A and B are shown apart, each in its own frame.
Chain A
Amino acid sequence: MSVLEMNNVKKSFGSNNVLKDISIKVEKGEVVSVIGPSGSGKSTLLRCATLLETMDSGTLSYNDTKAAWMEENGIRYTKNLNEVRRHFGLVFQNYNLFPHYSVIKNLMDAPVSVMKRDKDEVRRECMELLSKMGLEDKADAYPCQLSGGQQQRVSIARALAMKPEILFFDEPTSALDPELTGEVLKVIKELAESNMTMVIVTHEMSFARAVSDKVIFMDHGVIVEQGAPEELFGNTRSERTKQFLQNYNNI
């Protein structure tokens, strides 16, 4: 049973075919990194998986619960999309924290007002999450008072507070300077060690290599190559992948 399964996903914006027949499968506890040049469709794939975009065709399921499937007259999404959303969390490139809420309220509000869970229990859990992130003293601060790295860690904690089975990261460190990037990558690494299932769209090659069980290289809306990191980075088969990775090594 896979936590996430997407098959034959196609998506275009106007005449621009962003995803051309993509299939991926993520098993429980697996960490999958998606790399590739800008415009290759990595983010769109993530946005399709998290229901921020609707696919033109293809299937999507979480833990064998079907979210979208093909019928004779095209793609159908389940009516119960909120049920589907319980399966995953998403960490954005620019955090998207709620600026008018304190850190702790950012974490607590969705579990309390969406999942209708007990407030005290949620508070306990969220404080625990914050201390895991090294931010327990920032509970009452507002996002604008935090550094970018701290904000991104809060947004990771906010996603975790919903107890997702799988966590998506959309270029989580692209808005951060190298020093702050380190503190966020460290948190993601700890999550990987605690067997969190994750899909990470990233430009951090050495990080992807170190943390992933599987790396997917995408270009022009197709998966060019995928495999274990030592395979993909050490024993690259595709010319296109080689060319892409070369640019990183040259820096």
Chain B
Amino acid sequence: MTLATMIMKMSEGLGKTCAIFFLTLLFSLPLGMIVALLRRSKIKVISKITQFCISVLRGTPLMLQLLAVTYGPYYLSVAVNKLSDLYNWSFYLDISISRNKLIPVVIAFAINYAAYFAEIYRSGLESMPVGQYEAAHVLGYSKPQTFMKIILPQVIRRILPSMTNEIVTLVKDTSMAFTVSYQEMFTIGKQVANSQTSFVPFIIAGVFYYIFNAIVGFVMGRVEKSMSYYTM
């Protein structure tokens, strides 16, 4: 196989790599904010439960979470059906391993990244001086107005560097989808490497990720610059 064929073959998976990347961002960015607000809830039970969920998602490998979301429901249904046979319950679960792996992959990624984003949002929210809330309060802004108009824009500015960090990691983490044989770029690369007994596909993958992240870095740099018209 020539170098050009290898690159062509792996490029076919780039669309799926991008799909994981963009869909994960689309869902995890807002979800992370919700989690961050729950984490900061004044109701102790809610904040404690949220804290526990975050610790599980951050404390176990993403690879494991991918396997759990992709195959977990099927094995769970098998177990339930066995119990059902044993005790003569009259219900059966009919869950098969989903054909379209994109759905479980994005679910796993979105939940995992939401946990990380939530902690970044929280760091931003907690760095806000209380005077900003008080000024808005005295001027009569409602709570949602205060959050959307006064707090959130400043928080975003503060957390952009840590966000860039996390997004760069996400680009590379998409390769983790090979564990559930989702045909994204790295999975194809691994297959090519095996069939050709060659290391070249991995080098190509490395170059792809590097270019992808160079673009991410450029875009995020632009965003940071566009928000740096003021200092805190």
Contacts and interface: CB of A to CB of B under 8 A. Distances in A.
Interface of A: 50-52, 82, 85-86, 88-90, 92, 94, 96-100, 109-110, 113-115, 142-144, 158, 162
A144 to B, nearest CB: 4
A162 B231 contact: no
Interface residues of B, number: 21
A89 B145 contact: no
A96 B145 contact: no
Contact of A90 (B138, B141, B149, B231): B138
A99 B230 contact: yes
A96 B134 contact: yes
Contacts of A98: 132, 135, 150
A96 B145 CA distance: 17
Contacts of A89: 138
26 contacts: A50-B138, A82-B140, A82-B142, A85-B138, A85-B139, A85-B140, A88-B138, A89-B138, A90-B138, A92-B131, A92-B134, A92-B135, A94-B131, A96-B134, A97-B135, A98-B150, A114-B139, A114-B145, A115-B140, A142-B229, A142-B230, A143-B230, A144-B232, A158-B139, A162-B139, A162-B140
Interface string B208-232: 0000000000000000000001111
Given A92-B131, A100-B153, A113 B145 contact: yes
Interface string B113-150: 00000000000000001011011011111100100011
Given A94-B131, A142-B230, A162-B139, 5 more contacts: A85-B138, A89-B138, A99-B231, A100-B230, A109-B149
B51 interface: no
B172 interface: no
B81 interface: no
B154 interface: yes
B157 interface: yes
Nearest to B145: A113
A86 to B, nearest CB: 7
Nearest 4 pairs between A and B by C-beta?
A: A96-B135, A96-B131, A110-B139, A144-B231
A96 B132 CA distance: 6
A96 B232 CA distance: 11
B134 A99 contact: no
A109 B140 CA distance: 11
Contacts of B232: 99, 144
Contacts of B229: 142
A82 B141 CA distance: 9
A82 B157 CA distance: 30
A198 B157 CA distance: 36
A226 B132 CA distance: 33
A31 B80 CA distance: 77
A251 to B, nearest CB: 29
